[in-house]
Amino acid sequence: MIKKSLLQASCLALALAATAQKVEWRTSTEGNYWQLNKSAKLTTAPAAGAQLIEITDNRMQTLDGMGGCFNELGWDVLCEISPEQRQDVINKLFSKEEANFTYCRMPIGSSDFAMNYYSLCDVDGDYNMINFSIDRDRHILLRYIKEAQKVQPGLKIWGSPWTPPAWMKANNHYASSYDNDKPNHNGLPREKEQELDRTGIRMEKGVLQAYALYFSKYVQAYAKQGVKIYAINVQNEPCSPTKYSSCPWNPQDLAYFVGNFMGPQFEKDGLDTEIYLGTCNRDNPDWSRTALNDPKAKKYWAGEGFQWDGKGAIPYINKEYPHLKMMHTEAECGNGSNDWGAAEHTWWQMSHYLRNGCVVFSYWNMVLSKGNVSPWGWKQNALISVDPATQTVTYNPEFYLMKHLCHWLNPGDVRLETSDRDDVLAFACNDGSKVVMLVNRTGDDRSLSIKVGNQYLNQVLKPHSFHTIYLK
């Protein structure tokens, strides 16, 4: 039975071509993914009583790309299956015929899904970065990235550190918080815990200059390996002193570092890598305003990245700083459920962040081993789960959700304005086509009429289903 509220018309204005020559409609329900809807045909009238979906021609933000994050544990488990299976996973993520990921994140040094702690310069007091090296990455993360580049040659990469080198920090450790669940597990004594809102790096001129050089050398070293770093978010979750690799910053100190050290270093070295404030994980927009308004730093900010509680701040920052780009930096982890409910929650994040100006949507771990547990005991979701013991690969519901978003989208495509708050996104593509993504998160059928010029696509969406429509 179709709910009355879902049958009511809800006008959203449109601008697809007067007649679409091609219609391809893909549908996913739990356990039945990416199916071709053969009944999707254009007609001359809307279905009686259906919800009317119209899409405006108002062009919003231009996309930089969509993707996920390269992590060491992902590549490690991919090396435990056959080369043919590994190649199939890479194809599924990056091929234009599949999920078509075009802009992905990588950690700079260790993350919570690295094999263990490390940075790109672990020699205490090496202010001139003489011992800076990406040799470890050359054997792990770079191999992962280069395999992806073979399938998606135009793949863009952005990076973020979870922590500076430990010797640069006030507690001389990668972590910031004592591990209460497993005492002494992370090697940080309780006495060396860092407090929230207290900057973890030593605010000394020599340290800050060395850290700016560290970022510059990272960009240049990766460029020599054929990987251009398009953007850097200066700190992963600067508002979280965690038991894994982390470093809290207050916004004044973060802006001081960028305005006086990192920005000038990039200018001196002729780097065009964009510098983002983030990844912001606080819902108080004043935290962002403090850094973005800094008189020296503001000339260097390209934008701001948001994840987790940052979702509460982005609606304000997007409106107040229209000259800056917004970036979604990490999907919420789902605690390892890998189920349909987690995918629907990630859809809400997609809708929220893209409607609030994001030019990038970044999922978190693309691939993890079965169980999906970090070295710190946190079970998290992944798009793809691999079981080395049985040599099986499982594509979780969120993989198909990301495919629904990314399959037809490329950098340079533009989001179109819609008024439906939660359940539709629309895009104008560079090839002249339009892409519409629809979701029914209810337990009832949903009857829709999508207006295409003077024609209509009439469909009943099944309960709990994802849909992507390509029109050209």
Euclidean distance between CA atoms 302 and 262, whole angstroms: 13
pLDDT per residue as tens digits for the range 377-402:
889 999 999 999 999 999 999 999 99
* pLDDT of the residue at 14: 37
Q: What percent of the chain has pLDDT over 90?
A: 84
pLDDT at 9 over 60: no
Burial of 127 (0-12, 13-18, 19+ CB in 10 A): middle
More confident residue, 448 or 226: 226
Q: In angstroms, how far is CA 70 from the centroid of its own chain?
A: 11
Nearest in space to 15 (alpha carbons), one of 462, 414, 461:
414
pLDDT at 429 over 70: yes
**What single letter denotes the amino acid at residue 17?**
A
Pick 64-411's CATH classification: 2.40.50.460, 1.20.1250.20, 3.20.20.80, 3.90.226.10. 3.20.20.80
Nearest in space to 275 (alpha carbons), one of 290, 256, 262:
262
Write out 110-163 in H/E/C secondary structure. Answer: CCCCCCCCCCCCCCCCCCCCCCCCCHHHHHCHHHHHHHHHHHCCCCEEEEECCC
For the chain, how are helix, strand and coil distributed in percent, rounded to 5? 30, 25, 45
pLDDT per residue as tens digits for the range 418-427:
866 679 999 9
* pLDDT of the residue at 20: 54
Planar angle of CA 339, 344, 350, nearest 5 degrees: 125
What's the pTM? Answer: 0.94
* pLDDT of the residue at 41: 84
* pLDDT of the residue at 161: 98
pLDDT per residue as tens digits for the range 406-420:
999 999 999 999 866
The CATH number of the domain covering residues in 16-57+426-471: 2.60.40.1180
- What residue segments make up the domains of the chain, in order of their start? 16-57+426-471, 64-411
* pLDDT of the residue at 12: 35
Residue 338 pLDDT level (bands cut at 50, 70, 90): very high
Q: What is the mean pLDDT of residues 160-188?
A: 94
Residues 6+ apart with CB under 8 A from 263: 275, 296, 297, 299, 300
- Token pair 């939660």 in the structure block, residue: 422
- Token pair 């629907």 in the structure block, residue: 344
Euclidean distance between CA atoms 306 and 310, whole angstroms: 5
What are the C-alpha distances in Å from 415 to residues 159, 244, 355, 409, 434?
A: 24, 36, 9, 10, 10
pLDDT per residue as tens digits for the range 125-150:
999 999 999 999 999 999 999 999 99
Task: Give me the torsion for CA of 106, 110, 113, 114, rounded to 10°.
Answer: 110
More confident residue, 4 or 369: 369
Euclidean distance between CA atoms 422 and 351, whole angstroms: 6
pLDDT per residue as tens digits for the range 78-93:
999 999 999 999 999 9
Nearest in space to 108 (alpha carbons), one of 155, 66, 163:
163
Q: Which of 16-25, 92-101, 423-432 is predicted least confidently?
A: 16-25
pLDDT at 1 over 80: no
pLDDT per residue as tens digits for the range 253-283:
999 999 999 999 999 999 999 999 999 999 9
Residues 6+ apart with CB under 8 A from 293: none
- Token pair 């003489």 in the structure block, residue: 130
pLDDT per residue as tens digits for the range 187-233:
999 999 998 889 999 999 999 999 999 999 999 999 999 999 999 99
Euclidean distance between CA atoms 149 and 156, whole angstroms: 9
Nearest in space to 291 (alpha carbons), one of 337, 324, 338, 328:
324
* pLDDT of the residue at 328: 98
pLDDT at 3 over 60: no
